[in-house]
Structure 1
Amino acid sequence: MKSAVENLSPTRAKLTVEVPFEELKPSLDAAYQKIARQINVPGFRRGKVPPQIIDKQVGREAVIGEAVNEQLQSALVEAIREEGLTPLSQPEVDDLDFGDDKPLTFSAEFDTLPEFDLPDTSALTATVDDIEVTDADVEEQVQGLRERFATLIDVERPAADGDFVVMDMKAVKDGETVEGADITGFSYQVGRGGMIDGLDEALTGMTAGEDKTFTSQLAGGDLVGQDVDIEITVSQVQEQELPELDDEFAETASEFETLDELTADLRERITRNKRLEQAAAARDAVLESMLDQVEIPVPEGIVTDELNARRQSMEQQLAMAGMTMEKYLEDEGQTQEEFEAELDRRVRDSVVAQFVLDRIAEEGEFEIEQQELTEHMVRRAQQAGQDPQEYVNHMLEHNHLPEVVGEIRRGKALASIVENATVTDQSGNTVELATLQPDGTYADPAEQQAEGEDLTEVSLPVDEGAAEVADEAEESDESKA
């Protein structure tokens, strides 16, 4: 077999292939056997019809055509491998020519992985915000605990901000109750927001047994964006009574015996969470720094497909939330042009990041253990709100395991890059990532080395390190041949 490559652009290639007729013989024999099992010829058992008879019955050209159909894909795959190409789209076969005693010739065009040099990741630097845990942070957590253990007491006074009201509510349009827009006996905290514009203002000052009607707009349904009348009836006004902040409360709300122990534990938990946030910020900053060092052309077909997929996904999410794109852009303070430009930039960055991380993972020969694969899919299922076993079965049935493995390997590649980068906070302190655990604590390096653990995997958990890149590149993976 002979093949030749013509680079139509840095991201698209045309492959010309010629397969000598003698190399088609195995496929030709297989075609005769297949056809022999499909036809009935008097005097011959099914599957035992000689080639000469098959040529008379169905024609030599039909047999050769069957052989070509079988040979075409394998010849294309072999030629791609021999030429060292990495297809990023389904090859488009053209100029197909074959005949009796003639070579099989064809061409195929497809998007390819462009050639590029890896950036020097050892010199990457990034700066992230300092970790600062304030008394206000701790007080907020303590207040949240107190509210969890608070009691509600009926009061005979107008509702004020922070009170709870039990109410009935319905939306009315042209004198008719809007279907699905009514609730009964609903407990709501005044000032919480997030329901209907104007609700908090309407409830403030209302007393038990009072009715009120105001005009607003529904967030979802067929009448989204239209003015409707909101009728509310308050049946109870309740005041939240918080428990005293003392040692007794600490024993009730936690496993600690004193309030000092409880607040110290809350401060430590906040610190751990902020370490993880700082690590995520470091990951993003290092990745952005790396992308600034490379200029890799991206196949426009992949960009277009990914843009369309993201637009469709976003439209579905907005529809489920009962929001239009216009309303979303208004809330975000973006124009349609600004949104499209930002989306295009994110898509191109995610594809370039995928190219680079895949190359680093390949050169680093990162191994994936079965346990890592299983844990990754279980976490993905939990994030998607799906049953883990059903999620795993779906991935297996639809042959998505290569995509999952790619996500994990990219995560490991990104973790290794962050490990080698110099990350400091705003105060100039080096950010410790090498021993950071998934729970925000630090491991003992000596103990880990004694146990033979890989600090790279400890520093940034696979899912945390790869989540953004994997999510953005997932559909790009599916477009690969």
Structure 2
Amino acid sequence: MSVKSCEKLEKSQVALTIEVEAAAFEAAIEKAYRKTRGKIKVPGFRPGKAPRKIIEGMYGVEVFFDEAINIAFPDAYEAAVKEQELNVVGYPSVELMGECTRQGFTFKAVAPVYPEVVLGQYKGLSAPKEEVKVTPEDVDRRLQSLTDRNTRLVSVDREAKEGDTAVIDFEGFLDGEPFDGGKGSNHSLELGSHSFVPGFEEQVAGMKAGDEKDIDITFPEDYHADLAGKAVVFKVKCHEVKEKEVPALDDEFAKDVSEFDTLAELKADLEKQVAEDREKDAQRGFEDALMEQVAQGITAEIPDAMVDGQARQFLENFRTQIAQQGIPYEQYLQMTGIQEAKLLEDAKEPALRQVKMDLAVMAIIKAEGIEATDEDVEAEYAKLAEQFGMDLEMVKKYIQADQVKDQICSRKAVEVVVGSATAVKPEEGPAGEEAPAAEEKKPARKPRRKKAEAAEGEEPAAAEKKPARKPRKKKTEETEEPKDAE
């Protein structure tokens, strides 16, 4: 292999003209012969036993050329990329140049490469940061959530009413025939949860254990096609009615669900938790706003391959999320009428923002000479082991050191930006702009190289922390949750 030329093109692409000489091509032809000879019929020879010269004599010396080119290309291309010290970021487009003979062939490969990045301002920035406030109502909501988790369901001998849970069997009939998805047994249905089709729960109200009833329902027009707007009958049998037994909010409750002896101490701890969570959210928003400025300030010719690759990664993440919800991806596309091409197209804009963020972080790492020491890596491994409750050696087995190093360097790069930045009130944001909405998603601050998700492992902001429990008390039975609507 020899590189005849290496030309830089626009949008961070490189055109390589590569020659595969006779010796390398001859070796590829021999491999092509051994690979395909079993598929070629030659009179007088069993499949795969005909000599190469016989086959070439019958079908021409070029009979193995196409396969030989496919065999020779990857090695020649990879060798050329290594020789020219190129950091390619996608697959090349390939064009055969001239005629292919036994003396070899020449091809042109146009490949996207990692772009040259010029940083804009990344120090001395300012961004809005929310002021953390905690009201008594915030504490009450957190306490209510804790109360709900420790509420029991107890059987009652009376008619079911809103707020109760009815344990029922049901089967739906359309024109006297049962329909798919309309049957359930021993289903716990919370009345008022609106988890069933409208009108169903209201008619279950008033039933007692042992009651049977036919419920007439008309499905909404926007229901899925088979049942949209159809009138059906559900045959329902009630096995049990349960009501919520809510624990009293007193010192005994505090002792039962936490490490505290009084309700006042528990409330104080919940107030502290809310404040800490909101401070984390505010800091995360502040950092995201700063890094967004840095990402938008870079100058780089970003190859389409990088954006397309990130868009495909977003789509793959979406497929995983859909699958985790129990919805097959193809079924989701059918239900929504969305084409995969549309999903990919919609992902292009956030993908571009993510790529810019990755490039900005990597450029800061380079500009600042940021490194991850062995001590940094060991400390990060220890942190991950504690976070996930895993053995240290097991964590090292599943998460490569290079991944951990990348994550550490990425974090240090963000710290460089944040450490020199100024926080301002939201209404005093840069250029008079309002602070970004809390629900707006920002690109993740990570280098382009794929990271182990464990290394990213932050607890979601919305997740509530339970106060530490005392071993002396037994946790109250938690409320049962109704299943999703059938």
Normalised by the shorter chain, which TM-score bucket? Answer: 0.5 to 0.7
In the TM superposition, residue 109 of structure 1 has moved relative to its aligned partner by 0.9
Pair 302,217 (structure 1): closer, same or farther in 2 beyond 3 Å: farther
**Displacement of 1:351:** 1.6
Could you say what secondary structure the match of 2:444 adopts? helix
Deviations 1:322-365 (A, max 9, x none): 774587699xxxx9999777532101111222222223234433
**Are residue 366 (structure 1) and residue 371 (structure 2) matched?**
yes
> Residue in 1 aligned with 2:238?
234
CA distance in structure 2 between the partners assigned to 1:391 and 1:211 by the alignment: 56
1:321 to 327, 341, 344: 327
Counterparts of 2:393 and 2:221 in 1: how far apart (Å)? 38
**Using the alignment, how far apart are the partners of 2:380 and 2:249 within structure 1?**
46
Count of aligned residue pairs for this structure pair = 404
The residue matched to 1:122 in structure 2 has which SS?
coil
Q: Distance in 1 between matches of 2:401 and 2:336?
A: 35
Question: Which of 213, 216, 225 is equivalent to 1:211?
Answer: 213
Separation in 2 of the partners of 1:212 and 1:289?
61
Specify the SS of the correspondent of 1:359.
helix
Q: What is the rounded CA distance, in whole Å, between the counterparts of 1:57 and 1:340 in structure 2?
A: 50
Q: Deviation of residue 140 (structure 1)?
A: 1.8
Identity percentage of aligned residues:
24
Under a length normalisation based on structure 2, what TM-score does the superposition of the two structures give? Answer: 0.63
The one-letter code of the counterpart of 2:184 is: I
Shift in CA distance, 75/315, structure 1 to aligned 2, threshold 3 Å: closer
What whole-Å deviation, never above 9, does each CA across 1:291-346 have from its counterpart, x for those lacking one? 3323544322443454455446546754743774587699xxxx999977753210
Q: Which residue of 2 aligns with 1:249?
A: 253
Matches within 5 A, 1:224-373: 227=230, 229-308=233-312, 310-311=314-315, 314=318, 317-318=321-322, 320-321=326-327, 324=332, 342-363=346-367, 364-367=369-372, 369=374, 370-371=377-378
Partner of 2:437: none
Distance across 2 between alignment mates of 1:354 and 1:72: 31
Looking at structure 1, the residues matched to 71 and 337 of structure 2 have their Cα atoms a distance apart, in angstroms, of 51
- Residue 274 of structure 1, CA deviation: 1.7
Number of the residue aligned with 1:192: 193
User: Quick one: structure 1 residues 272 and 108, their matched pair in 2 at CA, closer, same or farther if it must change by over 3 Å?
Assistant: same
Give 1:118 shift: 1.2
Question: 1:89: which partner in 2?
Answer: 90
Change (3 A) 1:125 1:195: farther
Contact 2:220 2:228 survives alignment (8 Å): yes
Calculate the TM-score normalised by the size of structure 1: 0.63
Cα deviation per residue 1:209-263 (whole Å; 9 max; x = unaligned)? 2535223479999958685655443333332222222112211222211111111
**Structure 2 CA distance for partners of 1:104 and 1:115, relative to 1, 3 Å:** same
Is the CA contact (8 Å cut-off) linking 2:3 and 2:18 kept in structure 1?
Answer: yes
Q: Which moved more, 1:141-150 or 1:410-419?
A: 410-419
8 Å contact kept, 2:365–2:409: yes
Cα 1:273–1:316 change in 2 (3 A) is closer
Q: CA deviation at 1:134?
A: 1.7
The runs of 5 or more residues in structure 1 that have no matched partner are 36-55, 430-465, 476-481
User: Corresponding residue for 1:468?
Assistant: 444
Higher relative contact order (CA 8 A, sep 6+): 2
User: Displacement of 1:135 after TM fit?
Assistant: 1.3
Please identify, of 214-223 and 227-236, the stretch whose mean Cα deviation from structure 2 is larger: 214-223
| Cα drift, residue 366 of structure 1 | 2.6
Q: What one-letter code is carried by the residue in structure 1 that aligns with 2:134?
A: V
List per-residue Cα deviations over 1:44-64 (Å, max 9, x = no partner): xxxxxxxxxxxx9999x99xx
Once residues 337 and 98 of structure 1 are traced to their aligned partners in structure 2, the CA distance between those partners, rounded to angstroms, is 37
Give, in whole Å, the separation in 1 of the partners of 2:220 and 2:182: 11
Q: Deviations over 1:86-144 (max 9, x none)?
A: 211123444468889x8985432111222230122113322132222221221122223
2:418 counterpart of 1:418:
yes
**Cα distance change of structure 1 residues 326 and 221 upon mapping to structure 2, 3 Å threshold:** closer
What is the deviation of 1:67? Answer: 12
| One-letter amino acid of the structure 2 residue matched with residue 267 of structure 1 | E
Q: CA offsets per residue over residues 179-210 of structure 1, 9 Å max, x none?
A: 55533223232233445455444444544425
Which secondary structure state, in structure 1, belongs to the residue aligned with residue 123 of structure 2? helix
Higher mean alpha-carbon deviation, 164-173 vs 216-225, is at 216-225
2:111 corresponding residue in structure 1 = 110
Structure-1 residue corresponding to 2:462 = none
- Could you tell which deviates more after superposition, 306-315 or 159-168? 306-315
User: For residues 77 and 154 of structure 1, do their structure 2 counterparts lie closer, same or farther at Cα, with a shift above 3 Å needed?
Assistant: closer
Cα distance in 1 for partners of 2:341, 2:71 equals 48
Q: Counterpart in 1 of 2:17? A: 16
Counterpart amino acid of 2:327? A
Q: After superposing the two structures, state which structure 1 stretch, 142-151 or 131-140, moved more.
A: 142-151
Quote how far apart the aligned CAs of 1:290 are.
Answer: 2.0
1:175 aligned residue: 176
For structure 2, which runs of at least 5 residues remain unmatched after alignment?
33-52, 430-441, 452-486
